[in-house]
Amino acid sequence: MSEYKTFSADEAMAFADKHSELFGDHSKLTAKEFGDGNLNLVFRVENDKGTSLIVKQALPYARCVGESWPLTTDRARIEAEVLKMHHRFCPGHTVEVRYFDPVACAILMEDLKAYRILRTELNAGKKFNHLAPQMAKYLANTLFYTSDFVLSSEHKKAEVARFLNPELCLITEDLFFTDPYCNHERNNIEPAILEKAKTLWHDEALKAEVAALKADFLSKPQALLHGDLHSGSIFIDEENCKVIDAEFGFYGPIGFDVGSLLGNLLLNYIACPGLHQAEDAAEQQAYLLQQAEQLWQHFSQTFTELMSRETQDPALDNSLYQRRFLQQVFSDAIGYAGCELIRRTVGLAHVADLDSISDAGKRADCQRLALKLGRELIMQRGELSNISQLQTLVRYQHTS
C-alpha cells in the first residue's frame, strides 16, 4: 500500500502527468516548486508549449514555522472539497480542481499563471473595477447555496461534519481572537508600536467584543466558508478574479468570509500613505473605499434576491427574518474585518501591505492606525447600520 511522501519536483511532474490528459508528450515536461505561502508545497508542471497545471501538496507541518508545528495533511481534502463545492456554485470565480489524491494529500488544479496575486497588485497601486462585483457574486453564491436556506436539515448536518477542520480552525481561533490580546510568544510586534499593542492586552471592553466574535466563529455554522479570504487568496487579471487556497474552509459565520475580504481592502487603504506618493495614495484610498462599498452592496443585493427566490425551508422564507439575518451578517463582517486589521498588525502572520512600507516612521503610523481602526470596527459593529456609515468611520480615523 502506498503512503504519504513529500513530492520532489520530478514526483510532482509524474503525478500531474498521470492524472491529466492535458500534456500529451510527457518527455517534454518540467516542474518547479515556487510556493511562498505559509503552509504547503506548490509546483508548476509545464510542457514545452506552455500548457501548465499546479500541484499543491500539504506538508505535515506549517511551512512558515517548520517541523516543530505539525499540521494535519487532511487539510488538502478540505481544500479540494471546498473548492469543488464553491466551483459548483460560482465556477467563474473559483479555481478549478482537476484531481485530488487523498494518500499524497495533493491537488492537481488549474494554473492561473496569466493572473496576478491581488495583494501584490493593490500594493503596486493597481485598480480593478471588476474586483468588488465579482467577489460579491462569489461570496453570495457560495455562502447562500451551502446554507440552511437551501440545504435540508439532515444534509446540512452531514456537510458540517464533513468539513469540521478542527486543526486549521484552531489556528484561526488562536491567531485571530486570542494571541493579539495577550503577550503571546507567537506575536510579531515591531518595537515602535509595542506600547500601543500592549493596550490591547488590557482593554477589557474590546476583549469582551472579541470574545463574542470568537464564540460565533466557534458555534455559528451558517455556511461553507472559504475560511481565509485575504487578498493573497485571490488571483486577478484585467477582466476576472478567481479564488484559491481554501484549506481553512469549514461551516462558520457568513460574516467571517465577507469581513476577511473587507478587512484586507481596509488594510491596503491604511497602508496607502506608506506605499504611495500623497496624490496617488488619496486616489487609491478612494478606489478602495468604493470597492468596499460595492462589495457589500452587490453581496447584500444578490444574497437578498437568492433568499427571496430560492429559500427551501418554509420557516426561513420570511422577508422580515431575512432582512434581520443580513443586518447581522453586516455587523459580524465589520467585527471580523476589525479582527483582521489587528491580527495582521501584531499577530504571527503579517501582510506585505504594511510590512513592505520602507519608511519606519510611516510604517509605525500605519500600524497604529490599523490597531485603532480595528478596535473601532469591533466596538461599533452593532451601531453601524449601512456601508456608508462604515466609509465615514474609516475616513475620519486618525492616529492619536
Residue numbers of the site for Mg ion (CB under 5 A)?
245
Inter-residue contact 334 to 377 (CB < 8 Å): yes
Please, is 361 exposed, middle or buried when counting C-beta atoms within 10 Å of its C-beta (0-12, 13-18, 19+)? Answer: exposed
3-state DSSP percent of the chain in helix, strand and coil, to 5: 55, 10, 30
Residue 349 contact, options ligand SR1, Mg ion, none, Cβ 5-8 Å cut-off depending on partner type? ligand SR1
Please, is 329 exposed, middle or buried when counting C-beta atoms within 10 Å of its C-beta (0-12, 13-18, 19+)? Answer: buried
Least Å distance between CB 178 and ligand SR1? 12
Q: Which range of residues in 96-104, 110-118, 147-155, 169-177 is near ligand SR1 by CB under 6 A?
A: 169-177
Strands 40-46 and 30-33: antiparallel
Inter-residue contact 47 to 21 (CB < 8 Å): no
Question: Which string of x and - marks every residue 114-153 that binds ligand SR1 (by CB under 6 A)?
Answer: ----------------------------------------
Closest CA to 254 of 294, 233, 232, 227: 227
Inter-residue contact 298 to 133 (CB < 8 Å): yes
56 is in an annotated binding site: yes
Residues shown for the chain: 400
Please list the residues that pair with 243 across neighbouring strands: 94, 234
40 is in an annotated binding site: yes
Residue count at the site for ligand SR1 (CB under 6 A)? 11
Q: What's the distance, Cα to Cα, between the start and end of the chain in Å?
A: 63
Q: Which range of residues in 85-93, 170-178, 211-219, 321-329 is near ligand SR1 by CB under 6 A?
A: 170-178
Least Å distance between CB 126 and Mg ion? 21
Cα–Cα distance list, 352 to 61, 135, 184, 338 (Å): 23, 21, 22, 18
Residues 259-298 that bind ligand SR1 (CB under 6 A): none
Question: What is the residue whose three cell numbers read 492606525?
Answer: 369
Question: Which string of x and - marks every residue 208-247 that binds ligand SR1 (by CB under 6 A)?
Answer: --------------------x-x-----------------
- Transcribe 127-168 into DSSP letters: --TTHHHHHHHHHHHHHHTTSTTTS-HHHHHHHHHHT--HHH
Question: What is the residue whose three cell numbers read 489524491?
Answer: 101
Least Å distance between CB 259 and ligand SR1? 13
Question: Which string of x and - marks every residue 310-349 that binds ligand SR1 (by CB under 6 A)?
Answer: --------------------------------------xx
Asked if 178 is part of the footprint of ligand SR1 (rule: CB under 6 A), the reply reads no
Please list the residues that pair with 70 across neighbouring strands: 61
Residue 22 contact, options ligand SR1, Mg ion, none, Cβ 5-8 Å cut-off depending on partner type? none
Least Å distance between CB 395 and Mg ion? 30
Residue 175 contact, options Mg ion, ligand SR1, none, Cβ 5-8 Å cut-off depending on partner type? ligand SR1
Asked if 64 is part of the footprint of ligand SR1 (rule: CB under 6 A), the reply reads yes
Choose between 171 and 292: whose C-beta lies nearer to Mg ion. 171
Strands 106-110 and 40-46: unpaired
Closest CA to 75 of 148, 14, 4, 177: 4
Choose between 64 and 208: whose C-beta lies nearer to ligand SR1. 64
Least Å distance between CB 313 and ligand SR1? 33
Inter-residue contact 85 to 142 (CB < 8 Å): yes
* φ, ψ (nearest 5 deg) of residue 67: -70, -10
Closest CA to 42 of 120, 119, 109: 109
Residue 62 contact, options Mg ion, ligand SR1, none, Cβ 5-8 Å cut-off depending on partner type? ligand SR1
Least Å distance between CB 232 and Mg ion? 6
Among 4, 9, 19, 38, binds ligand SR1 (CB under 6 A): 38
Choose between 227 and 273: whose C-beta lies nearer to ligand SR1. 227
Q: Which range of residues in 146-154, 171-179, 201-209, 291-299 is near ligand SR1 by CB under 6 A?
A: 171-179
User: For the chain, what is the radius of gyration of the CA atoms?
Assistant: 21
Choose between 175 and 193: whose C-beta lies nearer to ligand SR1. 175
Annotated binding residues for substrate, written as ranges, equal 228, 343
Annotated binding residues, written as ranges, equal 40, 56, 110-112, 228, 245-247, 343
Residues that bind ligand SR1 (CB under 6 A): 38-39, 62, 64, 171-172, 175, 228, 230, 348-349
Annotated binding residues for ATP, written as ranges, equal 40, 56, 110-112, 245-247
